[in-house]
Chains A and B, each alone.
Chain A
Amino acid sequence: MTRCGFGKGDPGKTRILTANEKKWKSKLEGDPEYEIIPMSELYPTLPPADAYDQYEKRCGHADAAVWCKLMMTHEMTEMLRDVVVVLHGTLHCNSCVRNFHSDRFGDYGHGFAHFPTTSIDRRQVVFGGEKELAAAIRAVYRDYKPNLIIVLPGCAMSLVQDDMQRVCAQAQAELGIRVYYFPCAGYEDRPTGLIIEKVTQMWVDLMDDPKEVDPEAVNILGANREVYWPHVRGAEGKPRPNPYPSDAEELGRMIESLGLRVHRVLMASGGDYNYIRTAPEAAINTVLCGTWAFPIAQLMEKRWGTKLIYNELPLGLEANDKFMRLLGAATGREKLAEEVIAREHEAIMPVWNKTKEMCAGKVCIMGGMGNRTGSYLRLCKDLGMDVIYIPAYPEMGFCHDEAIKAKRVDWDYFLADGFDPVVLRLKDGVPRDFHKFYLPVLMNKLGLRNEDLVYMYNDFSPYAGQIEPSNIAYVNTSTHLRRRPFYPSRAVGYRGTEGFCLDIIDAIKAAQRKKWPTLYTRIYSK
């Protein structure tokens, strides 16, 4: 057993509902559409995420327009700096990737991703496009001189079954650099979590066997889209140019506080091909975002025995303390870990206690998929709030019943760790409809008042004119839009927790105004 941190969840034990949860359950008694049920009861009844037929029968056709497998795969490659990705597909696929994944992901600090594309048309769909792919790879090597070429397919060339694996093998022999093919056509999988679980394989494929393993070297996995400043090209000796540390930097600070060394931060931007291939030289893997990290960690554990600190996105005191203790225990630094925890508690306690006081009796209803939603909800629970998980992103306009199982790596963790939120969902057989998860609808159903709620939104709020920051505490949980100087945006670590608590305090104070609504509400109100 090389994993540390299997938790306190007890699958045989029945979850006891809190007073509020019992009240909500009774309110929904006899409701033809909604039910409230602990995750631990729902989870075992859910089919695997790729049992599409069963989900169709259970809750209707998927309504999620989210990023496809190609886009998610490309997202991983963007964080490598000396790599060129060749797309065997249409310029349309290229441009779809650019809209979010190249343009807005620049917000995290990545360099621009080059994505030369074979630009296929109907000729290649009919006659195949292997020759064109081979020519493109050669030309890309000639023009870009990369250290690694990754080839990804679009839907069309995948469906007509061009043998891209063979073309890459031939190109690799000819060019003398690695030419790596990864199948990731958009149609192959639908739920995001499932896609991520599959595409993380790519990173492990790119790693080499370690020559030596450093027992004091620690990897941070799942630092999706982030930049780890100390490893950025040219960062040596310079402070970060802006006051927004990444979550990986906060986790790195905590790791270093135990006298350990941060070896690789994956997939944070800041590394070249050599950076990723030497990742197995660390003895320990830690986790930032579980969705991205757990599958990589599990594969690394299997291949190289890299020890996994089994801990999801540490938000809140409980999760961070656990992380420090597990890491301390795994490296023989238990005493030091306790000293660090005491020091961190001392720093954060005034803000933490004040937040607990202000959140007393409040409720958080949050939609999303797994890792971040679960972690934020767990933080709210840690602050003494009652929490409800909804299997939908009403903000983004879709339900994702499959997402729970698609993010099984996260929910497995949370349940094993004893975090078991209640789920407010549509009953089996009721066709999915994200409108039914609109917060005002749910508040009505559950008899919640404005002052009962802390509303945590992601990219934007769809409730202008209905839920208003001068009435209800509005807290941003988006990784790229949330910026509080000196604190990481996903609220990771002790400092992240402190920053997030400060946001909650500010939001609750602003919501006490009860008058002078914002422009956003005025635009949408009648």
Chain B
Amino acid sequence: MAMEIIKPPSEYGDRYEMGAMAGAVMAASGIKGAAAVLHAVQGCTIEVVHLRQAGPVIAGNYMPIKETNMGPMESVHGRNVPLIAQMGRELVRERAKQKPELVFVFTGDGPSIIEDDIARAAAIIAEENGVKAIPIDTAAFLGEYSRGTEMVLNAILDHYCKGQPVEERKGINIVAPHLMGSDNWPDDIEEIKRLLRAADVPINHVLFQNISVSQLPEISRAKRNYILSGEDLAEFEERCEDMGMPVWGQDLVLPVGIHNTEEWYTKLAETFGDVKKARAQMDEDMKLVKARTKLEYNASWMLTGMFGKRTAVLGPAPMAAAIARSMFFDFNMRPVVVGLLGLSDEAFQRAEKQLAEMADYLDFEVMENPSYYAWGEKLRKTGVVFAVGHRVDHHLVEGYGIPHVSMTGPYFMSHWDRIPWPYMGIRGSLYLIQEFWKGTNKAIRQTELWQMNRYRSQDEIAAESGNGRKPRAKAPAKARARKAK
């Protein structure tokens, strides 16, 4: 039994990885009272604005944004300080009833290269509107989604926490829920918070979710920062160390499914809370799972129908690893291909260490940052019953005739789920049953053949024998004669 690791080509990449501006906006969107001016071209801003109005809204906040949508004039001539300041003014004017307290200025690639003076623009916004304004260069060539998140984390520590007196350390900060890699992160973070509270693990703040600008200085009073991303956020970590609240827990598996939750919850409770209470909570939650499944014929059908199914998972490293482990340990499935998406060696190493626990019992391949083509071809050649992935690889995978279930990646467009229930925790296993069964069932039900083999009347058969298309009208005699010539 073995785990084989496949490295990506070094010359190119083709995967879903939004840039720093997207990560920065996602982080800032969790701060109530924050707003942002995006100084970038329209393609960048339209995507980032859509990201902002998806997951963060479900998580509790809608951050106002104004964009400069710079065109050729602004990109070539630069000198866009007045334009950025104007957007800041409009942003504050439009929100007169609930004036923003903190305005970020984020940039895309163009303004970064032409070196627009965003510091001066932010100073003008601050002075004119009586708000705090923080400029951050979030060009995509400076870093990706997690780097943008880190830039905002750093800026908040620098502007609000440095030099704050800490009389008593209170609980842990939970950092970057949108970096977990779950497309259900707004509900997952709620479940994580519920479980931690139940085990007496005190939570200082979630960075960032439902935190007001006035609460930002409280961040520095935490004991630890539990980072939910597999990536190393080196500069943030350094700052946290300096403030006496080191980072913690990046090696910990995410609580997807029963086995992972037991491991995760026990570790957290041992370190910060009460293990007995954690166990009691797990027992309590398991009662609900049992009530929805035990002696219920359909559930037995689903749970055993999934056994042995060969599957694939593609997603940000921590989430993909956790889902694959749950598939194997909880559902007796065979996650034979796992695609890990990440930026740093550490992210891959952490996820692969977690996956290695399956290696004694299952042969499987791990692809680091596979291109979409490599991923699709691997699934085709390996043969999998269904694949879990992002929304954006849905039609890649189904284009190979393989059912697809979207569970990883950011919460974004086409996330149709309206039911507030997590993937994570013991209770989340009910959701997993449903999603994994969707994939399994789709493979079992051969809908394409139904279409081909449904009943047809004599008339229909006759119509179809003419290629399914009405016979072409005859061309006039003149044209036919010309063609014949």
Contacts and interface: CB of A to CB of B under 8 A. Distances in A.
A65 B51 CA distance: 13
Interface in B3-61: 9, 11-22, 41-47, 49-50
B468 A256 contact: no
Contacts of B372: 112, 114-115
B137 to A, nearest CB: 11
Contact of B44 (A115, A186, A188): A186
B144 interface: yes
Nearest to B468: A239
B373 A136 contact: no
B295 to A, nearest CB: 36
A118 B141 CA distance: 11
18 contacts: A67-B42, A68-B44, A92-B19, A94-B17, A95-B18, A96-B47, A103-B391, A106-B395, A112-B372, A125-B113, A140-B11, A155-B113, A159-B110, A216-B479, A239-B469, A332-B478, A333-B475, A336-B476
A103 B469 contact: no
A186 B42 contact: yes
Interface residues of A, number: 81
Contacts of A111: 395, 399
Given A116-B14, A156-B109, A159-B114, 19 more contacts: A63-B67, A65-B42, A67-B46, A68-B42, A68-B46, A71-B43, A92-B144, A93-B43, A95-B47, A115-B14, A120-B141, A122-B142, A154-B109, A155-B75, A186-B41, A187-B110, A189-B72, A190-B42, A253-B470
B139 interface: yes
A344 B474 CA distance: 17
B473 interface: yes
B69 interface: yes
A82 to B, nearest CB: 13
A90 interface: yes
A258 B473 contact: yes
Contact of A65 (B69, B392, B464): B69
Contacts of B41: 68, 155, 186-187
A262 B31 CA distance: 56
Contacts of A99: 47, 50, 392, 412-413
Contact of A91 (B17, B139, B393, B475): B17
B467 interface: yes
Given A99-B392, A239-B468, A90 B141 contact: yes
Nearest to A98: B392
Given A64-B69, A139-B12, A103 B376 contact: no
Contact of A96 (B15, B43, B373): B43
Contact of B479 (A92, A117, A160, A259): A259
Contacts of A132: 11
Interface string A78-106: 00000000100011111110111011101
Given A103-B395, A124-B141, A143 B373 contact: yes
A514 to B, nearest CB: 28
Residue of B14, B68, B393, B470 most packed against chain A (CB within 10 A): B14
B43 A239 contact: no
A67 B399 contact: no
Contacts of B14: 94, 114-117
CB-CB nearest 7 A-B residue pairs: A68-B43, A92-B19, A259-B475, A239-B468, A92-B140, A139-B11, A106-B395
Given A90-B140, A92-B22, A187-B75, A332 B110 contact: no
Interface string B64-92: 00011111111100000001001100000
Nearest to A140: B12
A114 B12 CA distance: 12
Contacts of B15: 91, 94
B91 to A, nearest CB: 12
Interface of A: 50, 52-53, 61-71, 86, 90-96, 98-100, 102-104, 106, 111-112, 114-122, 124-125, 132, 135-136, 138-140, 143-144, 154-156, 159-160, 186-190, 215-216, 230, 236-241, 253, 256-260, 331-333, 335-336, 340
Contacts of B141: 90, 120-122, 124-125, 156
Contacts of B19: 90-92, 95
A190 B71 contact: yes
A107 to B, nearest CB: 9
Nearest to B113: A159
Contacts of B472: 256, 259
B42 A66 contact: yes
B451 interface: yes
Contacts, number: 222
A144 B9 CA distance: 12
B257 interface: no
Nearest to A259: B475
A112 B413 CA distance: 17
Contact of B108 (A136, A155, A256): A155
Contacts of A136: 11-12
Contacts of A188: 72
Contacts of B468: 237-240
Nearest to B374: A143
B44 A103 contact: no
B394 interface: yes
B129 interface: no
A216 B483 contact: yes
A100 B412 CA distance: 11
B414 to A, nearest CB: 6
B293 interface: no
A301 B42 CA distance: 33
B371 interface: yes
B445 interface: no
B396 interface: yes
Residue of A66, A98, A135 most packed against chain B (CB within 10 A): A98
A21 to B, nearest CB: 33
B451 A241 contact: yes
Contacts of A96: 18, 43-44, 46-47
Contacts of B396: 112
A156 B43 contact: no
B139 A156 contact: yes
B473 A336 contact: yes
Contacts of A230: 469
Given A67-B46, A259-B479, A104 B413 contact: yes
B399 A112 contact: yes
Nearest to B83: A61
B12 A119 contact: yes
B482 interface: yes
B69 A119 contact: no
A65 B140 contact: no
Contacts of B412: 99
Contact of B110 (A92, A100, A115, A155): A155
A288 to B, nearest CB: 19
A103 B12 contact: no
Contacts of A106: 394-395
A122 B114 CA distance: 14
Contacts of A86: 12
Contact of A257 (B21, B109, B392, B473): B473
Nearest to A214: B483
B477 to A, nearest CB: 10
Nearest to A88: B12
A71 B74 CA distance: 20
